[in-house]
Each structure stands twice: as structure tokens, then as C-alpha cells.
Structure 1
């Protein structure tokens, strides 16, 4: 295929939740589109699990995983593509090399990812990231808030596109059903604080319906510790560990039975997923959340004092007191989220950014 038509996405890894997005992009671009990725991230390890046909490269980590390079024949396609969208991770030395070489060759390169590191736009690490953004010249970020913040912080960057971060295609909101469980969906890691949820659930048990179970979806280094905590607190009979689940139909079944989902630590894509199904979320109020938290408002979420099991327990009880109201609002919650945050919308924005020169999209706003 002629280089003038090829669009290549280069990422460190492509987790299972990118499957729907990749299929939607391929539907729109056909064989013009290729995805290139390594198989494993640095610890904590996340792996490429999409069934979408990708071109594999090897991720080689150095200095304890603080920097890495990507090697393999597919890197030649990334260099030669008409449009290359790179993972905006300054720790990848290959990204810097590709961006510089393509800049010399006059080929279009877009950076894609979170606009800023978790430490924020005023951090030392963002000074490095800002150089990478400038070299790319065009950037795709995940939320409208990030776009506004980036243009204020770095007004000379050039074009900034919004590619709303989503995990799945458009879904129908869950029906009234049982809607009685508490749901945690995410990695079982210290930053996510799932142990706080287990403790809060144990505190709330006497004040919520006896059939209300805590369903934990995910895997990670805290799993055995959580299982032990559940046993110690005497709630083993009402807590379900379901492991990692990526199938959308299985996920919908869990959300179908959930009154509310909970993010006891920092929140990101779990919020867009929960709201898409029409299930509200209880969120810690003072954690280094991902930008997707801008979706949360008083109509779809409740906030509690971070790191307080008592505060979280009180919110859980309060949500059950208002159970009928939350269930009634499910359709509205789902529709407002899915106006922008679906795999279809994400792919539409991605393609519009990648093909701007062909399709004449306004560089200031691709999808809104």
C-alpha cells in the first residue's frame, strides 16, 4: 500500500478494553489502518490482550522499567506511514527517535494520551512531556477538560484533538432488574484502595438490604490480601471475586444487578464504563484521578471523604436509601455519558484527527 494512505497507531500495549475501538477504527479506515504494540508493560505488568490483528514489537525495559525502547520490523511501517499516532509517553526512547526522524522527513505525527502526567502540568516530568508534545505538533487527549487545560498551559502547541476515552461500543442502559449489589471494577492495587471498600461494606452490612452483595471484578497484586480481609471481617459469604472480565455481555450482567459502583481510590475508565450502563458511582473526593473524572456530577455520582471507611460506609447506606431515585435516573445517566464516551465516538474522533488534511476538519475541535 502507498505510504500516502497509511495510518499507523503505535502504542506500548493494547489492553483488551481497546478491542471495540480498534475494530471501529478499522471499519472506518479499512486496510489503510495498522496497529503496532508491544506485548507487556513494565511492572506492574499489563499485557496486550486484544484479538484485533496487531503488528507486534518487543518492549525492552531499562533502569528498572523507567525507560524503554520498542524494536521490531513493524517500526519501519511506523516510520514510513503517512500519519503516525504515537503513545505520548516520554519514557519511550523509540518515540523520541521516530518523532524526530519523521519531523525531518516532513511526515505527520500526532501524540496521543493523557495531556499531563498524574503529578500535573506544573510538575518536573511535564517539562519533558511538553517537549514531546511540541515536537509532535498535534496532540490527541482524552477529555474536553484536558484540551482546554493544555491550550491554556501550552498555547503554541498547535492542534489539540479530543478522542474521548471509552472502553466499549454503545450499550443499552441496564433495566430495573434486581439492582441491589455493590460493584467494584478495576485493578486490585494499592492506588485503587479496594481494601477500603471491603472494610466500608462490612461496616454498612447491617444497614443495607441483606441480599446486597459486594462484587469485585479485576485482578492484581492485592487479591490474596483482599480475600484474607474478607474472611477476617466475616463477610466471605456475601463477597464475590470474579477475576478480570473484558467481555461486554458478561460485564453488562454484573452491572445489571448493581445499584451502584464504587471507586475507593483513583478513578479513570471505570467511571465511563459504569455511567455508560446507567449505574452511578461513589468516588473518593481527594485522589489523583484520571481526567475522566470530569464526567462525574451530582446527578450521576456521589463523593466521600477519601481514605475514610466510615465516610464511604455512610455513602453506601445513603445510596440504598435513595435506591428508587437512582434506578429511575439510569437512562439519563447512560445517555449523557454515551453522547461522547463510546468506542464509536472515540473512533470517529480518532479518524477525524488522523485524516484532517483529507477531510478538512477544524483543527480546534474535531468532535463535540
Structure 2
């Protein structure tokens, strides 16, 4: 029998810092009693799990991972946590590479819990569409990061009323209090991302060094993040006569630490895969330059060429260098792009909005499971 509040267990591969604002907002929902069960950081992961975060009930445990960056992940501890909490609803990662999400959901449902899946949905080059359609057809509800993911599953026969969209977001509410007016005289380039091959940050560094004489003596590049390619970037920087114009800051998680970098930037760049960094920079009113043909995450849909972003041919140092100069030399266009980026992001993305949509999916899933 369910308690007055719906007791919810949410499984996560890790608990990254950018997800805290959403989970804090979700934990404040008076209809839900939420516990986050997540894996601790695995060696080789560019993101670290937050331990004992304030404002959220959590249980952490070691991941059992095979391959790099949780290529295959098992979280058997979820079984004992389920028995300990006895939840009314469980949210699983929609990911065929997390074997716990493949094996345990039907078992938990037979024990009375509603099952909600949460994930990206079918990626453009995904080969195992049948996994996504089968899982989401029998599940009580599914949360997707973007509308196209919902449309793809509807085409595969998943009932629309079971599908919900919660745009991936960050703490835009806090960012709004930290953002300074965008001005034409800004002179820095910033990138915030994991330093992995998918993000192609060395390509950005090469493009910046290629373009330095056309960007002006005050132009600088700031790289925020950590990962396996940090040593490559440091070697590239240290071997350049312009090394004093490149700052590699490592990982920064607090917006109060990140804000000064965005508030000095005339442009943000994603040289490889676009992810949540698109929402992050636009929340500060900073336009983005990104590659036109990469395996982007759903956040790419927020970037509109000619409105809030510039695109360049993927993998071209020269083309990216040209875009850096082109954007720098068009201050009025950048100011317009900045306003468009800020307005669009704050109208559509927030941790609270994401939490509200997640809560709706959980509650509808719980109701579906308990229909008489």
C-alpha cells in the first residue's frame, strides 16, 4: 500500500554536479519522497559523483564497470536498496549498456512498483531500436530529454500518453543572478566540457593558435574541464609562443566560479559533440560556435544558426579559426545572438521545469501501474 507520498527510488549511473539542482527541486515536490541511488566515480571517468550532497536523500555504491567510461555497467546494489526502501515507483536509466536497467525493472514491477525509464531515447546511429521500443511499451512511463525522442518512440508504437519530455537543464535560475550584460568589447573564448576525444578540444586549441594574429593581442582561450586529453592540451599550449593566452583551469562546478569566465567571453565553442554545454553558455547569453556534423546530444536542437549560434565544417581547424575571427569581427551580430540565446534558454530551460516534468512522469506512471 502506498503512503501519502509516493516513495520514489531513482537509479543513476553517477551523480554529476550539474544534476544536483534538478534533484533538489524534485525532492521539494510535496507529492514525492525521493531517494537517489547512484554509483560512485569509476576510474577513467571524466565526471565525478558528488558525495553526500545537501538537500537530497542519497545512497551511493560502487559501479561494476567494463570498458572505458561505463561502456558496460552493472549496479547489483540496487536490488538490496529496493528491498530496504520498498518504493512505490522506480526510475531506471533507459540504457542497454546498464545491465541493471535491463534485468531488474520487470522484477521490481512484479513486486508492485511502477517503472519509469529515463534517457535519451534512440540516438541517430542507434542499432538496437527494438530494445527501446520493447522497454518503453511495457513500462508505466518514460522520460526523454527532447521531443524528437518522444516522436521516434511513438512511430515505433509506444503509446504517446506514456511518454514525457524533460529537457536537460542546469541551474538557470542561479545563472540569471550571476550574468553580466553582454558587450561588444569582450575578448575571450571559453569552452566547458569533459576533455575526451568526443569533445575535440585539441581542435579548438589548434584553431585558436592558428587565428591568434587575426583575433587581436587581447584575445584569450579558457578551457574548463578535465579528462584524458588534458595532457595533450597542456603539451599543445606549452609548445606555443602564445601559451600565455591559453588558460586550462581544470574542472569547475560552482556557478560562482564559472560565471566570471562566461562574463568575459565573446563566444563559447564546442569543437566536437555538443551536450549540456550548449544550454550552459546560452544561459549566460554567450553564443556558441559548433561543428555541423558530429554525434551531438539532443541539446543541439537549442542551437539555431543565424540566431544564437555559428556552425563550421566538422574537423576543420582552418574553418573553426575563420569562425572565431568572423564572430569577433561582428560585434552587433554577437549582441543580437546573445539576447536570443539568453531569452530562449531562460524561457525553456530550468532545473525546476525539468523537475516538474520528471515528477509528472513518475506520478502518471504510478497511476498507470495502480489502475483498477
Per the normalisation by structure 2, the TM-score is 0.88
Which aligned pairs between 1:52-201 and structure 2 lie closer than 5 A? 52=54, 53=56, 54-62=58-66, 66-71=72-77, 73-77=80-84, 80-117=86-123, 119-120=125-126, 123=127, 125-156=128-159, 159-170=162-173, 171-172=175-176, 173-176=179-182, 179-201=186-208
**Number of matched pairs:** 356
1:154 to 1:257, Cα distance in 2 relative to 1, 3 A = farther
Find the aligned partners of 1:118 and 1:40 in 2 and give their Cα distance.
28
> In the alignment, does 2:227 pair up with 1:226?
no
* Matches for 1:350-361 after TM superposition, within 5 Å: 350-356=358-364
CA contact (8 A) 1:174 1:330 kept: no
Listed as ranges, the matches of 1:244-323 within 5 Å are: 244-297=251-304, 298-323=306-331
Output aligned runs, 1:319-338, within 5 Å.
Answer: 319-338=327-346
Residue 100 of structure 1 and its aligned partner are, at CA, apart by 0.9
**What SS class does the counterpart of residue 28 from structure 1 fall into?**
coil
The match for 1:14 is: 15
Q: Which residue of structure 1 lines up, in the alignment, with residue 220 of structure 2?
A: 213
The question of 1:32 aligning with 2:33 is answered yes
Bigger shift: 197-206 or 328-337? 328-337
Between the aligned partners of 2:212 and 2:274, the Cα distance in structure 1 is 24
Q: Deviations over 1:192-240 (max 9, x none)?
A: 1111101110111111132110000001111111111112232211000
Which stretch shows the higher mean deviation, 86-95 or 346-355? Answer: 86-95
Distance 1:315 1:62 in 2: 39
1:243 paired with 2:250, answer yes
For residues 344 and 56 of structure 1, do their structure 2 counterparts lie closer, same or farther at Cα, with a shift above 3 Å needed?
same
Identify which range, 126-135 or 156-165, moves more after superposition: 126-135
Would the aligned equivalents of 1:265 and 1:283 in 2 still touch at CA under 8 Å?
yes
2:356 corresponds to: 348
1:202 aligns with 2:209: yes
- What is the root-mean-square deviation in Å for CA atoms of aligned residues? 2.5
Unmatched segments (≥5 aa) in structure 2: none
Contact 1:182 1:215 in 2 (8 A): yes
Q: Is the 8 A contact 1:217 1:243 kept in 2?
A: yes
Task: Identify the range of structure 1 (56-65 vs 103-112) with the bigger mean alpha-carbon deviation.
Answer: 56-65
Q: 3-state DSSP class of the match of 1:24?
A: helix
CA contact (8 A) 2:211 2:322 kept: yes
Which 10-residue stretch deviates more, 138-147 or 293-302?
138-147
